[in-house]
Chains A and B, each alone.
Chain A
C-alpha cells in the first residue's frame, strides 16, 4: 500500500489489529456483497465469486482474491483501495473509506465467514429484485402533497399533447373549462384515450424504442417495403389497449405462442382466426427493420451473426431496459453481464429469420402469377427499346407508348409482410471474440442472462424434430410477473411520457451505469399496479393523469419534432387524419433535394392531400433524414432511442421562419381565419388555447396595421408558447 493512501485512511478509521467481531465481519461481508456481488456472485465475472471463503481463496482469472491475514497482499483489498492496476468497483464508484477499512480489517483478521454470509441469494442490484408493492398505494401518497392544480386551460392542453400529440380544439377547451361535473377531468382523459390519435402518439414513442425506419441504412439503404405494417400494428396495439405482456409476447414470438398461424404461407383464404393470428404475428416485424450493413456482410455467416446480435441488443434495450451492447465484444465492465450471456440471448433467435411472406389467399397469388405473362410482354418491349438505334425518335416514341400501355395491364403485386419465420436446421451460435464473426469461440445454447438466476428453462432434445419454441421461452420469461424489469421499464416509459423524465432517467438502462430511480417506491407501486391491472397501458395513463402530481404545474417542455409539424398542420386546419398504410413521401424544398443521393429514392407521394398526414406516417429513410424533423431532434434510427433530446439551435428558427413549408401553412392558417370576426382572438384560441390579453391584442393589432394576417400566423408558429407545453 502506498503511504498517502494509508495516511488518508488513518484519518478516518484507525487501524485495528485485534481480532474482528462478528459485527465487523458482517459489515465487511455486506460491503462485499453489495459492491462486488452483482458481477462476482452467480455471474462469476472473470471467474471470481465472492460468495464463499473458498471461492475467494480460489479467486478468478487474476488469481486468489484474498490472502487471509494480509490485506495488503490481497487482490480484493488492493482493488477496492484502488492501489494498482485493478480498480474496483469499476468506473467512478469508489468505496467509502470506512467500507475500505472494514474490508481491510476483516481480511487482516483472517477473512472468516463465521455465521454470516454474503447475501447472495437475493440479487444485490435494485432492478434485479422483483418490485414489491409498497405499503402506501397511491402516487400522491408516495410523493406527498403536490402543488395546486394548474389552470384548466393549461391542463387540457397538457393532456391533449400528452395523449394525442395535438393541441386541443377551442370547443374542447371551453367545454372542459365550463364543465361543472366533478368528473370533468377524468372525462377529458377518457375521451383523449379513446381518440385514434392516441395510438399515433404513443405508437410513435414505441417506434423510437423499436428503432423503426423504412430503409436499412448504410451504403445500400435498401427499402423495407413492408415495415409500415409493423408501424400500423403498434398504433393499433396502443389504441386497443392491448395488454403489454401480450404486446411483448407477440413481438418476440407470436408465431411460436399462437402456432395456429404457422401455415399462413400459401393458404386458400384468410378466415377471421387467421387474420387475428396474422395481426399478432406482425409484431415480429420488430426484428425485420434494423439498420443492417448488408454490404458489409456479404461473406459467410456474418450477416446471420450481425442480425442475431442486433436482435439481442434490441430485445435487451426495449423490453429489459438493459444495455447489452458492450457484452457483444467482451464481458460487460459495469453490469454483471458476461459475453456469454449476450450470445446466449442472441441464440434464442437462431433458427429464426426475417422473411417476406404473402398475406393474401393462395387464389390471389395465382391470379398474380397467372398474369405475369403480361410482365413478360413488358420486358420484351423494354429489350426492344434498349436495342433502338440512337436518333430513332419515332421508334422511341412508339415503344414508350407501347411499354406504358403494356405496363398498366400488368397485375399489381399482392400484399406481403416481413415477419419472423423458422429455418431448419438451426444454426449453431458461437461467442465471437471482439464481436468478430470470422473468429468463432465457444458454442453456446439459448439462455437467460445469469444475473437473472435460473430463469427460464429451455430443454431441447439433442436431435429429432426441431420444435420451434426458443423465442416462446424468451417471450414468456420477458412477459412474466417474475421478471423484475419488464413492468418497471414500461411504466417508467409511460411516466417519462407524462413528466418528460422517467423515474429512472436512463429509460433504456436500468443497469449500474444507468441512473438509480429517483423514487423506487413509486416505480414499484406503478409496476405492481400495472401487472395487477392486466398490464393495461391506458389504466396507467388514468392512474398517473388523475394524480395531484400530474395536475400540479410542471415545467414547460418543447414539443417534439412530430408534434410541431402536426400542430402546425392542425392549427392551419390542414391536418389529414387518415390512418395507416404505406409511408407518405412528402415533397422536399429545392435546397433540401440537393442532399439526396438520387431523387428516385425519394418517390414523392402523388396525392398532395397525403402530404398533410400525421408525421408518424411519413417515410423514414435512414440515409436521408427529413430536415424539418431532423432539426427538431427526431431520433436517429440506428439504435433504440429511449428519450428525445430537446435542443435549441438557430436552424430551428430558420426552418420555422423561412421554410416554404412554414409559409404555406401560415397562408392556410390565415385562410382559415379569413371569415373570422375576431381574427386575433380566434388565432390565439386555435394556436394557444386561450384569448389574448389586452396588451397582446394591442401588439398584434398594431402589427397587423403594417403586415398581412399570413405574417401574423407565421409569427404565431414561432412563438415559444406555441412550441412549448406546460
Chain B
C-alpha cells in the first residue's frame, strides 16, 4: 500500500483518503492494512507527566548512596540542566529498595510493588535519551518526535497510517489528568489534517464534548430531527453528485448519533465485575482516578480504538511527576496512584488475550538527575532532582514485545545512556514497526518536504531486541 500520496490528490478528495469518500463514507477512519504483518494493533501510551525518576523506579544505582553529598567525579563531564548547575550540585542518594522479580529477575523498586509482579511482561529500556531539558521540548520529543510545536503526535501518525477499527468512536483518544505543559500539541495532528488529532476523553459518563442532545430533546426527538435533516441534506447532495464531502457529511451525522450512545456505554464502568474493578483499584480513593482511565483504555482497545494516550499528572490537577523538591516523596506519592491500575491493566489485557495485540508503553518526558536540584531559579531543593533527558527509563509490554528483559543501561550514576543508547526517534521507529509500518515510508508532504514522525533519523535495531 502506498501511504504517501500527493497533496493535490489529498485535497481533491476533500476528506483525507482518496478511497474513503466513495468506499467507506460511514467511517472516515476506515481501517487500512499495515505495510507488513504487525505484531501490535493498538497502543496504550501511559504517560507520566513531569518526568518520573528512573533512579527511584527502574534503574537501580546503589553507588549514589555512597556518593551522597559529594560532587560528581569530573570524569563524568557536565550536562546542561534547566534549573541547576550540574558541577555545583551534589549527588542525592536513593531511599528506595530494589528487588528482583519474576523468573527474569528484573529489578524494580518498591514504589511499584504491583507492576513488579508483571516483571516478566516488561521490556525495560534503561538507555533512553534526547536533548530536551525543558518539559515542553521533552513532551514534544516523546509525543511528536520533535522539540518544537507544529508536528503531528505519534497517535495522529498512526491513525493517518492505519485508520481505526472502531465504527463509533474516535480513533485516537487522550485522557488527561489536568493540563499539559506543552499544551494540546502532544495529541494534536500538527500539519496533518485536523481529523487525525486525538479526541480528549473526559472522566465521567460524558467523555466527549457535546455528547448530550440539547435540553428537552429526547432521543426520539433527535432521531426525528436527524431524519428530517437527512432528507434535506440528501436533496442537496443529489444536486451535487460529484461532491463526496456532502455524502460524507450526511454520514457524519449518523456517526455522531451512534457516538452519543457508544461513548456513554463505553464510559459506563458499572457493568464491569467487582473483581475487575478491584483489579484496577477502583475501590480505593488513591487509585480510583487512574484506575478508571486504565479500565477505559482496555474498553477502548476492545472496541478497536487505535491509540489511547493516558496521562498521569498535570499542571492544574493533583500534581505531577516533576520532583524538583522532594523527589523521593513525589515518586512514592505519584507511583501509589498508578501502580495498581497499571498492573491491573496488564493482567486484564493478558487474561482477555488482548495483550498480544496491544502495545503498552510506559514513559515520561525524561528522567531525573543523579545530583540534587540546586534550584538556581526553579524552586528546587536539596532532596529534589532536576530534569535529565540524557539517560532515563521507559518500558514496553505486549504487542509482540517479549517481556522479562532489560535493554541498555546508563552510566554508573544514571546520568547518561551508555549501552544501547536509544533515541526517541528509535523508540518511535520501533513502535511504528511493531504496528506494521516502516517509519521511513509513513510520510506527509508539508512545506516543501515529505515529513516523517522520525524526521531524518530512527533505527529499528530495538525491535529485534524487544521481540527476542
Chain A contact residues, CB within 8 Å of chain B: 91, 217-219, 221, 291, 293, 295-296, 298-299, 317, 323, 325-326, 332-335, 501, 505-506, 508-509, 511-515, 555-556, 558, 589, 591-592, 594-598, 622-625, 627, 630-631, 633, 636, 638-639, 645-655, 657-660, 662-663, 696, 699, 703, 706-707, 711, 714-715, 718-721, 723-724
Q: Which of B247-275 contact A (CB under 8 A)?
A: 248-250, 252-253, 255-256, 259-260
B283 within 8 A of A: no
A-B contact count (CB 8 A): 224
Besides the known contacts A556-B246, A657-B256, 6 further A-B residue pairs in the complex with CB atoms under 8 A apart? A638-B148, A646-B14, A649-B195, A662-B214, A715-B225, A720-B237
B7 within 8 A of A: yes
B468 within 8 A of A: no
Q: A219-B182, A295-B136, A296-B137 are in contact. Are A651 and B447 (CB under 8 A)?
A: no
**CA A640 to CA B460, docked complex, whole Å:** 33
B243 within 8 A of A: yes
Chain A nearest CB from B405 CB (Å) reads: 33
| 11 A-B contacts (beta carbon < 8 Å) | A296-B147, A317-B447, A323-B449, A558-B245, A592-B209, A598-B315, A647-B194, A648-B248, A653-B253, A653-B255, A703-B224
In the complex, what residue of chain B is closest to A211 when comparing beta carbons?
A: B150
**CA A654 to CA B258, docked complex, whole Å:** 11
Q: A293-B136, A592-B209, A645-B193 are in contact. Are A323 and B447 (CB under 8 A)?
A: yes
**CA A658 to CA B316, docked complex, whole Å:** 28
Q: Is the CB of A654 within 8 A of B136?
A: no
B407 within 8 A of A: no
Chain B nearest CB from A44 CB (Å) reads: 20
Q: Is the CB of B236 within 8 A of A719?
A: yes
Please name all residues of chain B whose beta carbon is closer than 8 Å to the beta carbon of A659 when the two chains form the complex. 209-210
Q: Is the CB of B224 within 8 A of A707?
A: yes
Residue interface bits B131-149, CB-to-A below 8 A is 1, else 0: 0101111000000000111
**CA A647 to CA B255, docked complex, whole Å:** 15
B80, B82, B185, B256 interface centre (most CB from chain A within 10 Å): B256
Q: Which of B173-223 contact A (CB under 8 A)?
A: 176, 178-185, 188, 190-191, 193-195, 199-200, 202, 206, 208-215, 217, 221-222
Q: Is the CB of A513 within 8 A of B210?
A: no
Q: Which of B230-248 contact A (CB under 8 A)?
A: 231-233, 235-237, 240, 242-243, 245-246, 248
Q: Which of B149, B170, B179 contacts A598 (CB 8 A)?
A: B179
Q: Is the CB of B210 within 8 A of A657?
A: yes
Q: Is the CB of A625 within 8 A of B184?
A: yes
Chain B nearest CB from A187 CB (Å) reads: 29
Chain B nearest CB from A666 CB (Å) reads: 8
Tally of chain B residues near chain A (CB < 8 A) = 82
Q: Is the CB of B221 within 8 A of A597?
A: no
Chain B nearest CB from A590 CB (Å) reads: 10
Please name all residues of chain A whose beta carbon is closer than 8 Å to the beta carbon of B176 when the two chains form the complex. 595
Please name the 9 residue pairs, one residue from A and one from B, whose CB atoms are nearest each other, closest first. A597-B179, A623-B183, A323-B448, A653-B256, A638-B150, A513-B448, A654-B210, A658-B210, A663-B214
Q: Is the CB of B316 within 8 A of A293?
A: no
Q: Is the CB of B448 within 8 A of A650?
A: no
Please name all residues of chain A whose beta carbon is closer than 8 Å to the beta carbon of B137 when the two chains form the complex. 293, 296
B16 within 8 A of A: yes
B63 within 8 A of A: no
Q: A506-B7, A598-B315 are in contact. Are A720 and B249 (CB under 8 A)?
A: yes
Q: Is the CB of A219 within 8 A of B136?
A: yes
In the complex, what residue of chain B is closest to A218 when comparing beta carbons?
A: B136
Q: Is the CB of B252 within 8 A of A653?
A: yes
Please name all residues of chain B whose beta carbon is closer than 8 Å to the beta carbon of A291 when the two chains form the complex. 149-150
Q: Is the CB of B15 within 8 A of A647?
A: yes
Chain B nearest CB from A606 CB (Å) reads: 23
Please name all residues of chain A whose beta carbon is closer than 8 Å to the beta carbon of B28 when the two chains form the complex. 648-649
Please name all residues of chain A whose beta carbon is closer than 8 Å to the beta carbon of B228 when the two chains form the complex. 699, 703, 715
Please name all residues of chain B whose beta carbon is closer than 8 Å to the beta carbon of A650 when the two chains form the complex. 252-253, 255-256, 259
**CA A555 to CA B8, docked complex, whole Å:** 16
Q: Is the CB of A649 within 8 A of B448?
A: no
Q: A594-B202, A654-B209, A654-B256 are in contact. Are A219 and B181 (CB under 8 A)?
A: yes
Q: Which of B358-389 contact A (CB under 8 A)?
A: none
B11 within 8 A of A: yes
Q: Which of B188, B224, B225, B232 contacts A721 (CB 8 A)?
A: B232
Q: Is the CB of B134 within 8 A of A639?
A: no
Q: Is the CB of A720 within 8 A of B236?
A: yes
Please name all residues of chain A whose beta carbon is closer than 8 Å to the beta carbon of B191 when the two chains form the complex. 636, 639
Q: Is the CB of B194 within 8 A of A630?
A: yes
Please name all residues of chain B whose beta carbon is closer than 8 Å to the beta carbon of A711 when the two chains form the complex. 217, 221, 225
Q: Which of A511, A596, A699, A715 contacts B179 (CB 8 A)?
A: A596
B22 within 8 A of A: no
**CA A267 to CA B182, docked complex, whole Å:** 41
Q: Is the CB of A217 within 8 A of B149?
A: yes
In the complex, what residue of chain B is closest to A700 when comparing beta carbons?
A: B228
